[in-house]
């Protein structure tokens, strides 16, 4: 059953904004409301078409008023994020993620019209450690609970969502655990990381990386909004890239940093405003994380169009990242050596 009035949080960001735009383009959806603390960029606002933007803070009880007066029946909570919007840093981010979710869920609970909730979560809730199985499926939990950062936020958010589900059993809840996003248009910690000319890695470790193309993420969110598909679903592209392999594919130069120096280097990179890595993301760079997407394909009924590898290549090509190690150059050197060998014959 298509929703009538949809409220999307975090519309000033890529996923929320483009999801609102897609929903606005769907004639079955009567009204699309976008909420965020900062207005979306002009370009995004233009794309959003008939979707309405409400500048509101989901940490404020005002959100309850928006939900009840607009007679919202479907809420898409897409604002939980790992990427700090501004210089304010992690404290604000945590507050936005956790307190914001609490307020939003409280508002949803009060409104009897709400009948569906879609939550954007992350595979970071599984943690990353050497004691974990190679592939996570939905019913597994982390061996070591993430103690800080985005992963902890996400674990708490999911906890509140489960609590909400117990209090409002009539609401259909879809929790989507997304792998790291990648794509030419989206801006995340990962895209910034791979855009660095010299990419710091942890010496002696190589992570398995699973990525999801941002367009696939949008398609998944859209499908969850338009159809009734309650449950928890892992969402990630097929296949795996090793971190070292991804760096090579992007033509970057890896800089292995000894584990002991990683926090220092992380601080330097953070203060240079290049990439804002949190400790749990550092752990991710050590061990990586892969999730099982069988449930997404079979029960949810959507197979990502891009594999991890294709998504990454699309990111590299679409961003026009200038490779420092040019594959054509490598092929040319190979040819030269072979020509020389042929002369020796």
Distance CA 247, CA 110 (A): 48
Shortest distance in whole angstroms from residue 318 CB to another protein: 16
Work out which of 40, 100, 288, 304 binds another protein, going by CB under 8 A. 288
Region from 36-44, 71-79, 178-186, 323-331 binding another protein, contact rule CB under 8 A: 323-331
With tokens 């000033």, the residue in question is 12
User: Is 334 a binder of another protein (CB under 8 A)?
Assistant: yes
User: Is 322 a binder of another protein (CB under 8 A)?
Assistant: no
Name the DSSP letter for residue 260.
G
Axis-axis angle for helices 149-167, 100-110 (nearest 10): 10
Region from 3-11, 39-47, 59-67, 325-333 binding another protein, contact rule CB under 8 A: 325-333
DSSP SS3 for 337: helix
Rg of the chain over CA atoms, in angstroms? Answer: 21
User: Is 241 a binder of another protein (CB under 8 A)?
Assistant: yes
DSSP assignment of 37-58 equals SSPPPHHHHHHTTTPEEEE--T
User: Is 249 a binder of another protein (CB under 8 A)?
Assistant: yes
Work out which of 47, 248, 270, 297 binds another protein, going by CB under 8 A. 248
Contact 159, 255 (CB under 8 A): no
Region from 67-75, 214-222, 235-243, 298-306 binding another protein, contact rule CB under 8 A: 235-243
Nearer to another protein, 159 or 318 (CB): 318
Distance CA 189, CA 187 (A): 7
Which pair of structure tokens corresponds to residue 318? 């679409």
User: Is 327 a binder of another protein (CB under 8 A)?
Assistant: yes
What is the number of other CB atoms lying within 10 angstroms of the CB of residue 1?
12
DSSP SS3 for 180: strand
Work out which of 198, 261, 268, 332 binds another protein, going by CB under 8 A. 332
User: Is 338 a binder of another protein (CB under 8 A)?
Assistant: yes
Q: Of how many residues is the chain composed?
A: 345
What is the number of other CB atoms lying within 10 angstroms of the CB of residue 274?
14
Nearer to another protein, 36 or 132 (CB): 132
Shortest distance in whole angstroms from residue 204 CB to another protein: 3
User: Is 203 a binder of another protein (CB under 8 A)?
Assistant: yes
User: Is 137 a binder of another protein (CB under 8 A)?
Assistant: yes
Site residues (vs another protein, CB under 8 A): 130-135, 137, 140, 202-206, 208, 239-242, 244-249, 251, 259, 287-288, 290, 325, 327-328, 330-332, 334-335, 337-338, 341-342, 345
């Amino acid at each position: 059953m298509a929703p009538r009035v949809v409220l999307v949080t975090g519309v000033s960001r890529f996923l929320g904004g483009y999801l609102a735009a897609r929903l606005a383009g769907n004639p079955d959806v009567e009204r699309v409301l976008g909420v965020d603390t900062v207005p979306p960029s002009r370009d995004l606002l233009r794309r959003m078409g008939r979707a309405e933007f409400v500048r509101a803070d989901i940490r404020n009880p005002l959100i309850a008023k928006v939900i009840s007066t607009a007679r919202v029946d479907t809420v898409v909570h897409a604002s939980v994020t790992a990427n700090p919007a501004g210089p304010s840093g992690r404290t604000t981010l945590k507050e936005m993620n956790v307190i914001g979710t609490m307020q939003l869920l409280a508002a949803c609970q009060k409104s009897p019209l709400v009948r569906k909730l879609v939550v954007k979560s992350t595979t970071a809730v599984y943690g990353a450690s050497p004691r974990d199985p190679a592939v996570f499926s939905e019913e597994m939990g982390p061996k070591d609970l993430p103690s800080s950062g985005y992963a902890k936020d996400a674990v708490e958010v999911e906890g509140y969502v489960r609590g909400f589900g117990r209090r409002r059993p009539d609401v259909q809840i879809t929790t989507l655990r997304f792998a790291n996003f990648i794509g030419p248009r989206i801006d995340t910690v990962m895209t910034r990381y791979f855009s660095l000319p010299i990419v710091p890695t942890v010496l002696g470790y190589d992570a398995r990386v699973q990525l999801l193309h941002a367009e696939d993420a949008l398609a998944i969110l859209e499908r969850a909004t338009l159809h009734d598909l309650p449950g928890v679903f892992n969402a990630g592209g097929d296949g795996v890239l090793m971190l070292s392999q991804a760096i090579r594919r992007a033509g970057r130069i890896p800089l292995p940093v000894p584990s002991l120096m990683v926090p220092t280097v992380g601080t330097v990179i953070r203060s240079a405003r290049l990439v804002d890595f949190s400790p749990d993301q550092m752990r991710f760079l050590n061990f990586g994380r892969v999730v099982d997407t069988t449930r997404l394909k079979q029960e949810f009924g959507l197979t990502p169009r891009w594999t991890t590898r294709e998504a990454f290549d699309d990111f590299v090509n679409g961003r026009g990242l200038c490779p420092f190690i040019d594959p054509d150059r490598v092929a040319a050197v190979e040819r030269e050596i072979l020509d020389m060998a042929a002369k020796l014959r």
